[in-house]
Amino acid sequence: MTRQSAFPAVNQKLCKKCGICIKICPRKVLEPDAGGLPYAACQEKCTACDLCASHCPDFAIEVMPTPDNCLSGNDNKK
Ligand code: SF4
Ligand code: SF4
C-alpha cells in the first residue's frame, strides 16, 4: 500500500531551471530532464512536505495529491 501520494507539478512556463527544488527535496523526488526542467522522477517518494514549492523563487511548483497511480520503474539511485 502506498503512503500519502503527492505529485510536484512544475509549471514549465514559470520555471527558470535554477535547480533549487531538486537540491532541496529531502526525498530526491525531483530530477532534471534533458533540458534541465525538473520532473518527478520518484513520485512515490514524495511526502507532500511542500519544501520544493515554498522555495521555488518563481512559484513554478504546486504539490498536489494524486490518485494511487505512482510512476514505477523509474527509481533513480543517488
Ligand atoms: S525551484 Fe522553481 S524555478 Fe527553480 S528549477 Fe525548481 S521549479 Fe524551476
Ligand atoms: S513536496 Fe517535499 S518530498 Fe515532495 S517533491 Fe517537494 S520537496 Fe520533495
Domains parsed from the chain with CATH numbers: 6-65 (3.30.70.20)
- Quick one: cell of 15? 520555471
What confidence tens digit (pLDDT) does each residue in 2-61 have?
Answer: 455 889 999 999 999 999 999 999 999 999 999 999 999 999 999 999 999 999 999 999
Kindly report the protein residue whose alpha carbon is nearest to atom 7 of ligand 2: 25
Q: What is the pLDDT of residue 73?
A: 46
> Is the CB of residue 22 below 6 angstroms from any atom belonging to ligand 2?
no
Residues linked to residue 6 through DSSP beta bridges, in sequence order: 65
Global pTM value: 0.82
Give 78 or 59, the one with higher predicted confidence.
59
Give 66 or 56, the one with higher predicted confidence.
56
Give 78 or 67, the one with higher predicted confidence.
67
Q: Cα(77) to centroid of ligand 2, in Å?
A: 16
DSSP H helices in the chain: 20-24, 51-55
Q: Cα(23) to centroid of ligand 2, in Å?
A: 10
